[in-house]
Amino acid sequence: SDVDTEWSLQLTLYQYKTCPFCSKVRAFLDYHGLPYEIVEVNPIMRKEIKFSSYRKVPILLANAGSPLQLNDSSVIISAIKTYLISRRNSLEEIVSFYPPVKTVTEQGKEVLEYENKYWLMLDEKETKRVYPVKEVRVEEMKWRKWADDWLVHLISPNVYRTPKEALASFDYIVREGKFGTLEGLFAKYVGAVAMFFVSKRLKKRHQLRDDVREDLYEAVNEWVKAVGKNRLFMGGNQPNLADLAVYGVLRVMEGLEAFDDMMVHTNIQPWYQRMEEVIQKTGVAF
Ligand SMILES: N[C@@H](CCC(=O)N[C@@H](CS)C(=O)NCC(=O)O)C(=O)O
């Protein structure tokens, strides 16, 4: 394990339990045996993150001497991983290598992106140790990006595919998330209807097939093929950051029809089971 007992790192994760980006961060922290506190954010009022000008989750507050706020799931993972490998720099310094930049999307919308977010800030020696050959590093980055830019977009169209599935998804979101009683009831029905229609728009935007399951199966099988038959994980005998990202994203569908269908219609199961076996929960509700 990467945990050094003399070397304390206090972590608090602000999240929605069922958000794929948050799930990725939990998979990463759990796998590395890093303890953290979880603050479940109410997605309607979001008052738990009022302190932050960054308005999305996950947010990770890290205290390694002085308090620090880390935004964006991939930045969080790259920065903490860099910190675990190289103890040369302070976490603050590491985070400064992932600066936010404002960019404009094709639709003309202004969005915040983070530079270098799939890159670990390692020196030559550390790089040799972690990535014996360059291809391994390139592959890990490629698939982490794929998880963020492609795989996540298949989740909503699949879990809100039919009115029945949309209702089941919202029932699960409300059950797992932080909602008031009335809010929850409201969110469940209004949310399910809204997301049923939103997911149709997302399907168009990301140019998914009429049967969105086809895209999910294809993506998942593509991943399984990339891992190949000669290794347990993309990382070899242990998961790398791409394994953790893909697992984190897929996991949010657990308990839903889309997940069961995926297990039946793809070759993901052996890898998925291996992931479950190597990850133990270290987070505690706060
Ligand atoms: N690129 C970000 C995306 C995070 C994200 O989109 N989070 C969603 C929840 S799944 C959110 O907080 N949305 C609220 C909003 O956009 O106002 C990451 O990787 O962390």
Rounded CA-CA distance 46/49 in Å is: 6
**In the prediction, which pLDDT does 88 show?**
80
Q: How many CB atoms lie within 10 A of CB 159?
A: 25
The protein residue with its alpha carbon nearest to ligand 1, atom 2, reads 72
Give the burial string for 65-93 (b: 16+ CB within 10 Å, else e). eeebebbbbbbbbbbbbbbbbbeeeebee
The pLDDT > 90 percentage for the chain reads: 90
Average confidence score pLDDT of the chain: 95
Q: Give residue 22's pLDDT band: very low, low, confident or very high (50, 70, 90).
A: very high
Torsion of CA 260, 18, 140, 34, to 10 degrees: -120
Of 93, 71, 65, which is closest to residue 14 (Cα–Cα)? Answer: 71
Per-residue pLDDT at 3 exceeds 60? no
Residue with the bigger pLDDT between 1 and 155: it is 155
User: Which phi and psi angles does 13 have, rounded to 5°?
Assistant: -105, 120
**In the prediction, which pLDDT does 65 show?**
79
Classify residue 170: in a domain, yes or no.
no
Classify residue 247: in a domain, yes or no.
yes
Classify residue 115: in a domain, yes or no.
yes
Q: Which atom of ligand 1 has the smallest separation from the CA of 71?
A: 20
Q: What is the pLDDT of residues 181-198, one digit of tens each?
A: 999 999 999 999 999 999
Classify residue 83: in a domain, yes or no.
yes
Classify residue 184: in a domain, yes or no.
no
Give the active site residue among 22, 118, 179, 233: 22
Q: Which of 17, 25, 42, 56 is the best mutation target for the ligand 1 pocket, counting ligand atoms within 8 Å of the beta carbon and taking the most?
A: 56
Mean pLDDT, to the nearest integer, of 76-97? 94
Q: What is the DSSP letter of 41?
A: P
Give the active site residue among 21, 28, 172, 272: 21
**In the prediction, which pLDDT does 210 show?**
96
- Please answer whether residues 103 and 64 qualify as being in contact, where contact means their C-beta atoms are separated by less than 8 angstroms: no
- Please answer whether residues 279 and 31 qualify as being in contact, where contact means their C-beta atoms are separated by less than 8 angstroms: yes
In degrees, to the nearest 5, what angle opens at C-alpha 267 toward C-alphas 264 and 269? 75
Q: Give residue 107's pLDDT band: very low, low, confident or very high (50, 70, 90).
A: confident
The protein residue with its alpha carbon nearest to ligand 1, atom 15, reads 56
Classify residue 220: in a domain, yes or no.
yes
Q: Is 21 a catalytic residue?
A: yes
The CB of 55 under 6 Å from ligand 1? The reply is yes
Rounded CA-CA distance 91/71 in Å is: 13
Q: What is the CATH number of the domain that holds 151?
A: 1.20.1050.10
Q: Which atom of ligand 1 has the smallest separation from the CA of 72?
A: 20
Q: Give residue 1's pLDDT band: very low, low, confident or very high (50, 70, 90).
A: very low
Classify residue 4: in a domain, yes or no.
no
Q: Which domain holds residue 253?
A: 10-162+193-285
Task: Tell me, in angstroms, the distance from the centre of ligand 1 to residue 48's CA.
Answer: 15
Q: Give residue 201's pLDDT band: very low, low, confident or very high (50, 70, 90).
A: very high
Pure H helices in the chain: 20-31, 73-85, 91-95, 124-130, 134-149, 155-159, 163-176, 181-186, 192-205, 212-227, 241-251, 257-265, 269-278
Task: Tell me, in angstroms, the distance from the centre of ligand 1 to residue 57's CA.
Answer: 5
Of 160, 172, 150, 168, which is closest to residue 199 (Cα–Cα)? Answer: 160
Tokens linked to 174: 């409300």
How many domains, in total, are found in the chain?
1
**In the prediction, which pLDDT does 7 show?**
60
Q: What is the pLDDT of residues 61-85, one digit of tens each?
A: 999 878 999 999 999 999 999 999 9
Task: Tell me, in angstroms, the distance from the centre of ligand 1 to residue 12's CA.
Answer: 17
Classify residue 185: in a domain, yes or no.
no
The CB of 21 under 6 Å from ligand 1? The reply is yes
* Beta bridge pairs of residue 59: 14, 71
Task: Tell me, in angstroms, the distance from the centre of ligand 1 to residue 26's CA.
Answer: 15
